[in-house]
Amino acid sequence: MRNDQLARGMGFALVGMGTTHMAVPEPFDYLIPDELPLSKRTWTVASGVAELGVGTALVIPRTRRLGALAAVLLFLGVFPANVNMVRLWKDKPLPMRILAWARLPLQIPMIWAALRVYRDPALRPE
């Protein structure tokens, strides 16, 4: 897959997730660690806005490289919520617990893909 296709795919996926954060915030509120300051809804909305912004930046060729760097930071930033999901789902049925654990290492290929787009020489300014 070419890096421009990878960037667009990541971008549209992030725009979709950001839209979902706004349309149906409750499941995302549940995953926000209690230890964070501010309300869970504030974090849900902020992460949704970030996903919309980063996704849009990845789709637009002119901002794609900056969007890729922002995606790396976003994927690192949401990792605590994924860890919290493992903690919250410890009493859920086994398939749900497996899903929660599986999300953790999946951050690695997402970060790698964003770095691949960021490092693409074709995206560097002249």
pTM: 0.85
Q: How many domains is the chain partitioned into structurally?
A: 1
3-state secondary structure of 92: coil
What's the chain's average pLDDT? 91
103 in a domain, yes or no? Answer: yes
pLDDT in tens, 81-111: 888 889 888 898 999 899 889 988 988 999 9
pLDDT at 125: 62
Q: What is the extent of the structural domain holding 52?
A: 3-121
Band of the pLDDT at 123, cuts 50, 70, 90?
Answer: confident
Contact 104, 51 (CB under 8 A): no
Inform me whether the pLDDT recorded for 21 exceeds 80: yes
Mean pLDDT of 66-91: 90
Mean pLDDT of 8-27: 96
Kindly give, in sequence order, each residue whose CB lies less than 8 Å from that of residue 89, ignoring residues fewer than 6 positions away: 96, 97, 100
Mean pLDDT of 51-74: 95
Closest to 50 measured CA to CA, from 25, 28, 21: 21
Write out the two tokens for 3. Answer: 């890096």
126 in a domain, yes or no? Answer: no
pLDDT at 101: 92
29 in a domain, yes or no? Answer: yes
Closest to 54 measured CA to CA, from 110, 100, 104, 122: 110
Instruction: Label residue 38 left, alpha or beta by phi (over 0 means left) and psi (-120 to 50 means alpha).
Output: left
38 in a domain, yes or no? Answer: yes
